[in-house]
Amino acid sequence: MTTLARTKTDTCTDSRQGPHALTPAQLAAYHNNGFLSPLPALGPDLARKVLTKIETHESQYGAFPSKGLKAHLYLPWMNEVVRHPAILDTVESIIGPDILCWSSRFFIKAPGDGGFVSWHQDVTYWGIDVFENILTAWIALSPATRENGVMKVIPGTHRSIVPHRESAASNMLLRGQEVSVDVDESKAVYMELKAGEMSLHHGLMFHGSEDNRSNERRVGFAVRYIPTRVKPLDGLPRDSAMLVRGTDQYGHFDLEPDPIGDMDPAAVEVHRKATATYAEINRAAVKKHEAMIAAQQ
Cα angle value 156/140/244 (rounded, 5°): 80
What does the chain come to in residues? Answer: 297
Question: Would you list the domain boundaries of the chain?
Answer: 2-296
Give, to the nearest 10 degrees, the angle between helix 24-33 and helix 85-95.
Answer: 70
Please say whether the dihedral angle defined by the alpha carbons of residues 169, 211, 108 and 256, taken in this order, is positive or negative. Answer: negative
Q: In a 10 Å sphere around its CB, with 0-12 CB exposed, 13-18 middle and 19+ buried, how is residue 275 labelled?
A: middle
Full-model pTM: 0.90
Residue 176 binned pLDDT confidence (cut-offs 50, 70, 90): low
Task: Looking at 34-75, list the stretches that DSSP marks H as alpha helix, in order from N- to C-terminal side.
Answer: 44-61
In this prediction, residue 129 carries a pLDDT of: 82
Residue 173 is predicted with a pLDDT of 52
Q: Does the pLDDT of residue 241 top 50, yes or no? A: yes
**Residue, of 194 and 286, whose pLDDT is higher:** 194
| Cα distance from N-terminal residue to C-terminal residue, the chain | 8
- Residue 173 identity (one-letter amino acid): L
Q: Which of 3-7, 8-12, 130-134, 183-187 has the lowest mean pLDDT?
A: 3-7
Average pLDDT, the chain: 87
Task: Decide if domain 2-296 falls under CATH 2.60.120.620.
Answer: yes
H/E stretch holding 79 reads helix 76-82
Cα-Cα-Cα-Cα dihedral of 142, 143, 147, 149, to 10°? 60
